[in-house]
Amino acid sequence: MTKNEIFKRWVEQYSEPLLRRSVYLLSDKIEAEEVVQEVFIAAFSSYDSFKGKSQPLTWLLAILNRKVADFYRKKYRSEPQIYLDHFFDETGSWKSDDVLRDWDVSEKEGELLDDGDFNKTLEECMEDLPLRWKIPMKMYYLEEKKAQEVSQELNISTTNLWKILQRSRMQLRECLEFNWFSKS
């Protein structure tokens, strides 16, 4: 079987699982489709390095992960700076102590992540985060990458990563309070 025939079969077989994973990681179908195309182009170019020691899908997913990291790096660097006037006053003090208040979730606490409506609200809140915050959040919490790896891929310090994650959690908290806890 020729290289072209193999790739034709791979595109037919693996486009759907690669696209599903890419949409999950990028949250944008058009960008995910472009990344999957880049995966196949890269795989075709480096086909000779594929030794067959793993399944083709495993190899393609590894390429996908690198392409997604490249995508995030490029996006992260091009996104403008974010200011936190919403949470802090001009002296750097909290505008509101609400962020220090515990949520009243009582016995429902363990059930929240099993609640489809809550997960939808959480996902919407996550998508509303500024891109400079959403990218590290997804890499750290959804892809479960280590802080060192996220910092390295985004070319930021670990201290900066922790600040971004904290600010992201604050924004998520406020969004969830407004869109979920105040309505339940």
For the chain, what is the mean pLDDT? 80
pTM for the complete prediction?
Answer: 0.49
Whether residue 125 has pLDDT greater than 50: yes
- Please write the tens of the pLDDT for every residue from 85-103: 555 555 655 555 555 555 5
Confidence of residue 42 (pLDDT cuts 50, 70, 90): very high
Whether residue 18 has pLDDT greater than 90: yes
The per-residue pLDDT for 73 is: 78
Confidence of residue 170 (pLDDT cuts 50, 70, 90): confident
Buried b (16+ CB within 10 A) or exposed e, 137-159: bbbbeebebeeeebbebbebeee
* Closest-CA residue to 139 (of 26, 17, 19, 16): 26
Side-chain half-sphere of 180: how many Cα atoms within 13 Å? 22
The per-residue pLDDT for 86 is: 54
Burial of 92 (0-12, 13-18, 19+ CB in 10 A): exposed
Confidence of residue 141 (pLDDT cuts 50, 70, 90): confident
Structural contact between residues 18 and 36, judged by C-beta atoms closer than 8 angstroms: yes
